[in-house]
Amino acid sequence: MQFKHLSLVSLLVTAALSVTSTAQASNPSIRIMPLGDSITHGTPVAGGYRDPLYHMLTAAGYNVDYVGTATDNGSATLPDWDHEGHGGWRISNASVGLYEHIYGWFEAIADPHVVLVHIGTNDSSNDPSFSNAVTRLDALITRIATCQPSAHIIVTSLMKRSDANYIGITNYFNPYVPGLVTNQAALGRRVTFLDMHAYLELSDMADGLHPNAGGYTNMAAAWFGAITNVIAADAVTPNQPAMIRAAGSNDHAHVAITLNKAVTVDTATNAANYAIDGGVTVTAAALSSNRRTVTLTTSAQTSGTLYTVTVNNVADDDALTLSGSQIAF
């Protein structure tokens, strides 16, 4: 069955290349961040849903660029292996939590236009009552939306599984995800819901938990519809610059601000574009070689004090401006 699936994908690759070569030449790249656990990784199928999704989008005229710090579990028919799928990871956990690691990943990759969020399966395994799982998911989505305010964030329900932990999914998680998304959207964030639970049956699972090849193709079809509903192949626009995080230094005289994309030297190094509360003065600003980290030199900061830095008039190469934004450090 896996052999047949790969053969069909190979045929689809050939068709996609012949149909969309002209469209891709004119359409801008759409950066997609597949974010989640082993199901995003693709266990146990090479490329997981990322392979068929790539070809579905390519056939529809999209110029796909997957982004992520992981490059494992690709396939011979998938040109782009980047992703952020980590086996065994949870929504939030000190060592294996997406919430705790998302800042570092955003700092290491190009700013995504779309973030595909499928997470929570391992939370159900480790905590069948799903205590506060939706609250943790809400915090993760808030963090993503704050770092990437222009990105379309697609959040899914969890799929069927064959063991007793499925009760936690149906009772404590899936019913509450649509409301979470509605509340996020009401705040002006680009968050939409995808009912992935409706797209796969237990017969689509290789081991009662991870999809088989056909199941991953069904996942790809679900993602395809959700992506094409929020962004057209020829409507990909530059993302707004935004701060990911700020961190003080041991000498209490510097602040490092990381950004979701490169900004211009003249606007980023103008100390007048930054203000810090609590009587702290910004005396200089320096920009890193990749133009994504600004280091401020300041008057003395008080150890243990929480400060807020406000940024205005810092622009990217597309003349989009970061203004009125605040972040604590």
Identify the pLDDT of residue 10.
Answer: 37
Residues in the chain: 329
Identify the pLDDT of residue 42.
Answer: 98
Place of tokens 């509903």: 229
Average pLDDT rounded to a whole number, residues 107-135: 92
Average pLDDT rounded to a whole number, residues 6-12: 34
Q: What is the mean pLDDT of the chain?
A: 92
pLDDT surpassing 80 at residue 291: yes
Cα angle at 30 between 100 and 5, to 5 degrees? 90
Q: Which residue has the higher pLDDT, 26 or 309?
A: 309
Q: Contact 81/125 with Cβ under 8 angstroms? A: no
- Which residue from 191, 189, 109 is spatially nearest to 153, judged by alpha carbons? 191
Q: Could you give all domains of the chain from N- to C-terminal order, each with its CATH number?
A: 2-230 (3.40.50.1110), 243-328 (2.60.40.1220)
Identify the pLDDT of residue 129.
Answer: 74
Average pLDDT rounded to a whole number, residues 276-289: 97
DSSP 271-319: GGGEEESTT--EEEEEE-TTS-EEEEEESPPPTT---EEEE-SEEBTTS
Identify the pLDDT of residue 284.
Answer: 98
Identify the pLDDT of residue 4.
Answer: 29
The first and second tokens of residue 227, run together, are: 């992506």
Average pLDDT rounded to a whole number, residues 153-171: 95
Where does the pLDDT of residue 130 fall: very low under 50, low under 70, confident under 90, or very high at 90 and above?
confident
Q: How many helices (H) and strands (E) does the chain have?
A: 10, 15
Identify the pLDDT of residue 5.
Answer: 32
Residues 316 and 298: their CA atoms lie apart, in Å, by 24
Q: Look up the pTM and report it.
A: 0.91
Where does the pLDDT of residue 8 fall: very low under 50, low under 70, confident under 90, or very high at 90 and above?
very low
Task: Give the pLDDT confidence of 65-88 residue by residue, as tens digits.
Answer: 999 999 999 999 999 999 999 999
Cα separation of the two ends of the chain? 53
Where does the pLDDT of residue 26 fall: very low under 50, low under 70, confident under 90, or very high at 90 and above?
confident
